[in-house]
Amino acid sequence: MIRVAVNGYGTIGKRVADAVAAQPDMTLSGVAKRRPNHEAESALRRGYDLYGADPDRTAEFEAVGLPLAGTLPELLADVDVVVDCCPAGVGAQNRGTYDDHDVHVVFQGGEDPDVADASFTARAAFETARDADAVRVVSCNTTGLARLLAPIDERFGVETARVTLVRRGGDPAQTDRGPINDIVPDPVGLPSHHGPDLTAVLPDIDIDTAALKAPVTAMHTHSVNVTLETPPSPDEVRGLLADERRLFVIPEHAGIDGAGKLKEYAMDLGRPRGDLWENCLWGESVHVSGHDLYLFQNVHQEADVVPENVDAIRAMTTDMTAAESMTRTDQALGVGLATRLDDNTGPRESIAADD
Ligand SMILES: NC(=O)c1ccc[n+]([C@@H]2O[C@H](COP(=O)([O-])OP(=O)(O)OC[C@H]3O[C@@H](n4cnc5c(N)ncnc54)[C@H](OP(=O)(O)O)[C@@H]3O)[C@@H](O)[C@H]2O)c1
């Protein structure tokens, strides 16, 4: 069993903790937080051992009746891997503490790439994490782009990709985020950082990205245009992408027209927190004109990196292949969406990753 700690129990950390706890080959040793807020309480109610991340604030937990199992250093002394889910930039500050305890580390996409030995997505860059001490799971948007472009490049060859990302202004719980009643180019100068970030996991892809922020909380939307070396038919593209378990090709009959219905669908299926771990791309939007492919996809920013974190742990600490790890992760979580019961009633048995 791989012993795992999660430091930072917020939007990403709570989901990663649940995903680790669901794996047959991993033990969640505990989660660490600074503040004794509602998330600390819910971690305890879920049965997780809670550790104080800030030694100066442990008394605050006792004061409100939330028992701590110990401090972050005590947790780190007893694990093989720590998944750092602290706010962007805080992970880099924690690196020294992790090094002191000689643990493997998974950082998140808010950190700069040089925080770790390698940047990671399971589909595009599993082997780069092999035997690394620390990896960085790329951001939600970059994860979504890598999952989409890796199979397209393998089959049809990507000459150049141009993507416009309409990003959610904040997560549902981020009451301090915006914009309000506006759509804001962010950054105004092109390209956005997402294209360069993608080349950390797919170095041979030529890509330009432009990004905006919109006053929504549910998902990001990507408008994708890829110039291909070998032009396919739309059906070939849909078939290729439908074979990827972490891509959900939304069929026309589903009547899903946006993030609202996607989230409703996930909640109707009983998904925890209404999470969509898969990229959700509209089959009808797949259009080919000459060598140019166009499509729309949505990415659930709170969820798509979660299976990737689980795979990053195995890439560093086991000799499992990408396909083996992804299959195990997906079966444990229930990743894989289909809208025909005779097609697939649960997670698929095989995936189109290398093995
Ligand atoms: N949210 C997304 O959509 C998303 C998507 C992909 C990747 N990411 C990346 O994942 C990482 C975590 O993001 P998140 O959205 O999960 O953050 P979050 O919801 O704000 O949670 C951050 C957690 O870190 C803890 N923390 C520890 N040290 C802290 C410090 N010095 N200052 C403030 N908080 C500290 C917080 O604990 P306390 O509450 O006890 O202070 C909280 O539990 C970031 O790198 C982010 O860029 C986020």
- Ligand 1 atom closest to the Cα of residue 34 is 40
* 139 — pLDDT class (breaks 50, 70, 90): very high
| Ligand 1 site-directed mutation target among 6, 9, 12, 93, most atoms within 8 Å of CB | 12
Question: Ligand 1 in contact with 177 (CB < 6 A)?
Answer: no
Question: Ligand 1 in contact with 169 (CB < 6 A)?
Answer: no
Average pLDDT over residues 292-319: 98
353 pLDDT above the threshold of 70: no
Protein residue closest via CA to atom 25 of ligand 1: 8
What's the pTM value of the predicted model, to 2 decimals?
0.95
Protein residue closest via CA to atom 18 of ligand 1: 10
Q: Could you tell me which residues come within 8 angstroms of residue 42 by beta carbon, excluding any fewer than 6 positions away?
A: 14
Question: Ligand 1 in contact with 324 (CB < 6 A)?
Answer: no
9 pLDDT above the threshold of 90: yes
Q: What is the average pLDDT value for the chain, to the nearest integer?
A: 94
Average pLDDT over residues 205-230: 97
| Ligand 1 site-directed mutation target among 7, 54, 61, 85, most atoms within 8 Å of CB | 85
Per the annotation, the verdict on 140 as an active-site residue is yes
Question: Ligand 1 in contact with 302 (CB < 6 A)?
Answer: yes
55 pLDDT above the threshold of 60: yes
DSSP bridge pairs for 213: 167, 184
- Per-position DSSP letters for 243-307, written without gaps between them: T-TTEEEE-GGG---SHHHHHHHHHHTT-GGG---SEEEEGGG-EEETTEEEEEEEE-TTTTHHH
The pLDDT value recorded for residue 340 is 54
- Ligand 1 atom closest to the Cα of residue 302 is 3
- Per-position DSSP letters for 297-336, written without gaps between them: EEE-TTTTHHHHHHHHHHHHH----HHHHHHHHHHHHT--
| Ligand 1 site-directed mutation target among 11, 98, 193, most atoms within 8 Å of CB | 11
- Per-position DSSP letters for 158-203, written without gaps between them: EEEEEEEEEEESS-TT-TT---SS--EESSSSSS-THHHHHTTT-T
Average pLDDT over residues 51-76: 96
The pLDDT value recorded for residue 73 is 97
* 337 — pLDDT class (breaks 50, 70, 90): confident
Please, are residues 163 and 207 in contact by the beta-carbon 8 Å criterion?
Answer: yes
- Across 314-332, b (16+ Cβ under 10 Å) vs e yields bbbbeebbbbbbbbbbbbb
Residue of 142, 147, 123 whose CA lies nearest to 247: 147
Question: Ligand 1 in contact with 171 (CB < 6 A)?
Answer: yes
CA distance 340 to 344: 7
**What is the Å distance from ligand 1's center to 291 Cα?**
41
343 pLDDT above the threshold of 80: no
Token pair of 204, please? 């041979």
The pLDDT value recorded for residue 131 is 83
From the list 85, 86, 140, 280, the catalytic residue is 140
Q: Could you tell me which residues come within 8 angstroms of residue 217 by beta carbon, excluding any fewer than 6 positions away?
A: 168, 169, 170, 171, 172, 174
Encode pLDDT of 248-281 as tens digits: 999 999 999 999 999 999 999 999 999 999 999 9
347 pLDDT above the threshold of 90: no
Question: Ligand 1 in contact with 170 (CB < 6 A)?
Answer: no
